Amino acid sequence: MGNYTEASNFFFKSLAIFEQLNIKSEIAGSLNNIGIIFNLQKNNTKALEYYLKAKKVLDNSNNPRALNFTLNNIAEIHFEDNNYEKAIKINQEALQISTKSGDKSMTSLSLYNLSLNYGKMNDYKLAEQYAQESLSIQKEIDYKYGISKNYNNLSNIYFKQNKLKKAENFANESYQLALAIENVEILKDVSGNLFKIYKTQNNLQQALHYFEYHSLLKDSIENIELQKQLLNKEFNYKYEKQKLEDQLKLENQKKIDTLKRKTERYSLLSFFSLTIIIIGFFIKRRSNFIKEEKKQLINEIKLLKAEAVLKVAPSLDFEKVDLDKEKIDAHLEKPLNPSDWKILNVLCDNPLITNATIADEVALSVQGVSSSLKKMYLLFDLKKAKENQRIALVAKTIKLSN
């Protein structure tokens, strides 16, 4: 919270400078940045207040792109507050401005946002129409990010109408394009959609695959979104000395240099505060990700043990399950040595056991147990977080044995 306050203080100070110098585009930019900080803090009332102030500054200016950006911010608040009719009205205003100015990227954005709003209102005919119009422009300007987002949007529209084949096709198109442009945000969203689609089609193997992928991306994407919003969207202010000279027509160099020093100092403070925010969120998300992954792996082990035992006798203890060495060796394409096999069986009985306890049970040193586990992590090609690899090892070997 303190870091948000520092960022807000920077933007308020920037706002005061630009108001004194009467640079309308930068005044509006600072007001938008303050609104974004409030939006990140889930204070949509204050966010809307500052977006509207920015709009008022831009209403009589010759800056259609900045006005369009501000209108989209306002519409986003109404969308988040489930006030879709107001959001549509603002998006239509933005669409008129971008169409008149010939700004194709902003036009495609307004059409996409209109599609999202009509989709929320269950008007799938208009939702599809606006999505297709937006997609057509995005293909024309080769805007791959927008194309991938729109494919996923169309997949949602068709899924809600139970048109599962169309939903699957568009989701796969979105997924492949997102992979090509390496956009984790879209991959997270579309993998969640593919999970729902395949689950509805009763394709449980595919559903599980995309559920696991979606879960892995879910926590990490929030940190990526934070970086994108704070560094690319909100913190877009640049200081240019020549621009100040042209726009402000200051009478002497001393005033320009004074303003430059102030702005550079605020920029440096803001950079450090935003960096602290990002690092803090990364640490928190990393910790949450490891805990959630561990929980999922333990649940998976319980289910696998239950499945294995029920195949033999429903009355047996679910905590005990026999590993199939023949299947495991076949997967590895070479046999595990006796020490590794003993360690694996002890670990299977209790995935949370310590290395010291394992060492006592298999008559090895703690160092020997640690070395054996590291070797098996590599052999089984485990991709989980370092802290959860031993649990992942148990899950994989039980799965291979079933």
Decide if 359 contacts 366 (C-beta within 8 A): yes
Residues 195, 65, single domain; the answer is yes
How much is the pLDDT for 258?
61
Which residues span the domain enclosing 334? 317-401
**Is 69 inside a domain boundary?**
yes
**Is 165 inside a domain boundary?**
yes
- Print pLDDT tens along the chain (402 aa): 445 566 667 777 777 887 778 888 888 888 888 888 888 888 899 989 999 998 998 888 888 888 988 998 999 999 999 999 999 999 999 999 999 989 998 999 999 999 999 999 999 999 999 999 999 999 999 999 999 999 999 999 999 999 999 999 999 999 999 989 888 889 889 999 999 999 999 998 888 888 887 887 775 655 545 444 443 333 333 333 344 444 555 455 555 566 566 555 555 555 555 556 556 655 666 666 666 666 666 666 665 555 554 443 333 333 566 788 888 888 888 888 998 898 888 888 887 788 888 888 888 898 988 888 888 888 888 776 677 777 788 888 888 887
CATH number of the domain bearing residue 66 = 1.25.40.10
Residues 359, 286, single domain; the answer is no
CA–CA distance, 188 with 200 (Å, rounded to integer): 19
CA–CA distance, 81 with 88 (Å, rounded to integer): 13
DSSP designation for 62: S
Residues 27, 155, single domain; the answer is yes
**Is 257 inside a domain boundary?**
yes
Residues 243, 123, single domain; the answer is yes
Residues 241, 333, single domain; the answer is no
Helices (runs of H) and strands (runs of E) counted in the chain: 18, 0
Whole-model pTM? Answer: 0.54
Decide if 154 contacts 180 (C-beta within 8 A): no
Residues 157, 75, single domain; the answer is yes
- The answer to whether the Cα torsion of 196, 193, 139, 103 is positive or negative is positive
Question: b or e along 351-381 (b: 16 or more beta carbons within 10 Å of the residue's beta carbon)?
Answer: beeebeebbebbebeeebbeebbeebbebbe
- For the chain, the first-to-last Cα distance in angstroms comes to 49
Residues 345, 288, single domain; the answer is no
Question: b or e along 256-290 (b: 16 or more beta carbons within 10 Å of the residue's beta carbon)?
Answer: beebeeebeebbeebeebbeebbeebbeebeeebb
How much is the pLDDT for 297?
62
Name which of 241, 342, 222, 356 is nearest 282 in CA terms: 222
**Is 306 inside a domain boundary?**
no
Residues 201, 279, single domain; the answer is yes
Residues 187, 330, single domain; the answer is no
Residues 380, 272, single domain; the answer is no
**Is 111 inside a domain boundary?**
yes
How much is the pLDDT for 176?
94
**Is 311 inside a domain boundary?**
no
How much is the pLDDT for 389?
79
How much is the pLDDT for 400?
85
How much is the pLDDT for 77?
92
Decide if 377 contacts 387 (C-beta within 8 A): no
CATH number of the domain bearing residue 365 = 1.10.10
Residues 243, 365, single domain; the answer is no
How much is the pLDDT for 28?
84
Of 294, 325, 355, which residue constitutes the final position of a domain? 294
**Is 307 inside a domain boundary?**
no
* Tally of domains in the chain: 2
Name which of 131, 186, 119, 121 is nearest 159 in CA terms: 119
**Is 301 inside a domain boundary?**
no
How much is the pLDDT for 232?
38
CA–CA distance, 203 with 183 (Å, rounded to integer): 26
Of 263, 294, 325, which residue constitutes the final position of a domain? 294
Residues 266, 356, single domain; the answer is no
Of 254, 279, 294, which residue constitutes the final position of a domain? 294
